[in-house]
Structure 1
Amino acid sequence: MDKLAVLIPAYNESQTITKVVRDVIEITKDITGTVVYVYDNNSQDNTAELAVEAGAVVRHEYAQGKGAVIRRMFREIDAEVYIMIDADDTYPVQAIPDMYHKVAERKVDMVVGDRLSSTYFEENTRPFHNIGNTLVRGLINTLFKTNIKDILTGYRAFSYQFVKTFPVLSRGFEIETEMSIHATEFKMLVENQVIEYRDRPEGSESKLDTYGDGVRVITTVINLFRIYHPFAFFGSFAGILSIVSILLFIFRVFFPFYHTGRVDNMPTLVVSLILFSVAVTAFFAGAILNAIQSSNKRNFELNLINADEKNKNHANN
């Protein structure tokens, strides 16, 4: 098992990969047992060759997408501490020792490299990225009641416990959103670390599709809210449908019937009853799924306890 594994996903980053790998090796030279891994994701340039020359261990992931790369990394590599950093030289490697010590010594499960509290809005030249980061941060912190300062940052440190319990579902850039929500929902210790962000060097192109990936991120947030908080999700629909059905019944069926003694709006009566039935179904579906989710969270905690006991017994033997 590595002491520290520095994970660098890379796709067509020949312009910056050499500098990033060498900077990481230099800053971690005092952390014995550090290995720098570059996972090449079907690059069309010589990213992989340059990474090898710079001193990294290079592996390949042939399923396209950042989520696929991280899934492979987390499955294959065992380390006490993991640090993930992008290959585009936008993050300062000087933060790595502090992030490492927070995980190794203070038992933090995830350290988030916070760009948004420092230079991101000045350095980033894509205004819709700025708007998207702010929107996603506000949405997640509101829905999931957390205080993560930068949801979409690719600069993070992880504990072994986080990496080996994180189910990677996304294939693209929405993976950072999943990480943030997973840590929050399972009560893992998360800390923010302010970092100085710098924009990509001239000639280096972002792989992020501002609009397409933005839609996927928002969709992921909504889906994860449905999964982790089913009662709130389905209960909201139940409440809206109930109100609509009751208002239809009162104003379009009951009041006319009160005055005339006849049900003149039979279709409206049928629609209101259907809507109310759907609302009741949504309510109980949310309640059942909420009970299942609560059970899953309890089982998760029990599995962590059992894993800790096995590790202690293994260490003693």
Structure 2
Amino acid sequence: MRNKKIAFLIPCYNESKTIAKVVNDCKKAIPEAVVYVYDNNSSDGTDEIARKAGAEVRYEYQQGKGNVIRRMFREIDADCYVMLDGDDTNPPEFAPEMVNLVLNKSVDMVVGDRLSSTYFEENKRPFHNIGNSIVKKSINMLFKSDIKDIMTGYRAFSYQFVKTFPVISKGFEIETEMTIHSVAKNLHVENVITDYRDRPDGSESKLNTYTDGIKVLKTIFRLFKNYRPLLFFSLLAIFLTVISLLLFIPILTNFFKTGLVPNFPTLIVSGFILMGALISFFSGVILDVQVEKGRQDFEYRLQEVNYQ
């Protein structure tokens, strides 16, 4: 039986203060693993420091974490992938447990759960804490899942996950996209509680609480529409129907009392809104059939990847 290849994937942008420690900690955690650092246009010598620490350094010149992950997933072949940030906030000593779940329990994605341990004590940005909680609750409610940490960059993946995951997002919303994809495609996801360390002095987060937060919320909205169109358009249809009835009921009441319809423009608007509700509902029905066909095609794709 051949040895399983394990790869650490570390996307980096200006992490010169921490990258050497992260690479060394990865090698200590799983000595047989190959450590890949993907530099995303750093200007502080991150790549050279990582190379001296023993990592294999590669480059992605399109800015954005999503673009880096797309490049990593295309280029690297392994039986198990462990992705973590280069800012030394994700302790690599939890990686063996995550790898074990992928290699021996056939888990497709393992989520490093910071929120159940030290995240809220260590993280000094309160709006990050609030944002993480909102995103987690929203996705778990909309997709009927139980993912403990949506925004974490600390994850382990199977080969079939990496080679069948379509990367669409360009930036930090990539973790949200991974999570929703896993839940919608019925992939095997597990949570592992990990510690979280705040960034050391002099190391700054590249995540903007507000602009990146808005992008994440837009991604949730877009993927909810794409992956669960029947529910999405049914809710829209209900909303439009309620508006139509609010406009129509006073006219109907007046008609029963007087036999007259004095507000024809309002009646016409009410009718058009109701037509919009019907169109919305049947659009959801049609798109839901296409999503179901997409799930079937995805299952065939998984079988092809397993035989490669």
- Structure-1 residue corresponding to 2:160: 161
SS across alignment from 2:179:
helix
SS across alignment from 1:172:
coil
- Structure-2 residue corresponding to 1:216: 215
- Structure-2 residue corresponding to 1:283: 281
- Structure-2 residue corresponding to 1:78: 77
- After superposition, what is the alpha-carbon deviation per residue over 1:285-309, rounded to whole angstroms, capped at 9, x for unaligned? 000000100111012112323443x
Which deviates the most, 295-304 or 40-49? 295-304
Query: Does the aligned pair in 2 maintain the 1:123–1:198 contact within 8 Å?
Result: yes
SS across alignment from 1:105:
helix
- Structure-2 residue corresponding to 1:3: 5
- Alignment coverage as a number of residue pairs: 306
Gaps of 5+ in 2: none
- Structure-2 residue corresponding to 1:138: 137
Inter-partner Cα distance in structure 2 for 1:175 and 1:154:
9
What is the Cα deviation at residue 259 of structure 1?
2.3
- Structure-1 residue corresponding to 2:149: 150
Inter-partner Cα distance in structure 1 for 2:303 and 2:37:
33
Gaps of 5+ in 1: 312-317
Query: Does the aligned pair in 2 maintain the 1:231–1:286 contact within 8 Å?
Result: yes
In the TM superposition, 1:235-274 aligns within 5 A as 235-251=234-250, 253-274=251-272
What is the Cα deviation at residue 248 of structure 1?
1.4
Which deviates the most, 291-300 or 238-247? 238-247
Greater than 6 Å deviation, 4+ residue runs = none
TM-score of the two chains, using structure 1 as the length reference = 0.94
1:19 aligns with 2:21: yes
1:274 partner letter: F
Inter-partner Cα distance in structure 2 for 1:114 and 1:263:
61
1:126 partner letter: R
Inter-partner Cα distance in structure 2 for 1:254 and 1:101:
66
1:227 partner letter: N
RMSD of the alignment, in Å?
1.2
- After superposition, what is the alpha-carbon deviation per residue over 1:55-93, rounded to whole angstroms, capped at 9, x for unaligned? 001011000000000000001111110000100001111
Percent identity between matched residues is 57
What is the Cα deviation at residue 193 of structure 1?
0.5
Query: Does the aligned pair in 1 maintain the 2:79–2:158 contact within 8 Å?
Result: yes
- Structure-1 residue corresponding to 2:119: 120
TM-aligned CA distance change 1:92 to 1:307, over 3 Å:
closer
- Structure-1 residue corresponding to 2:290: 292
Query: Does the aligned pair in 2 maintain the 1:41–1:64 contact within 8 Å?
Result: yes
- Structure-1 residue corresponding to 2:104: 105
2:273 partner letter: L
TM-score of the two chains, using structure 2 as the length reference = 0.97
2:291 partner letter: Q
SS across alignment from 1:48:
helix
SS across alignment from 1:305:
helix
1:226 partner letter: K
- After superposition, what is the alpha-carbon deviation per residue over 1:10-52, rounded to whole angstroms, capped at 9, x for unaligned? 00000001111111112211x3xx2110000000110000000
Query: Does the aligned pair in 2 maintain the 1:2–1:78 contact within 8 Å?
Result: no
SS across alignment from 1:111:
strand
Inter-partner Cα distance in structure 2 for 1:247 and 1:85:
52
Query: Does the aligned pair in 1 maintain the 2:160–2:305 contact within 8 Å?
Result: no
2:197 partner letter: R
TM-aligned CA distance change 1:306 to 1:75, over 3 Å:
closer
2:106 partner letter: K
1:284 partner letter: F
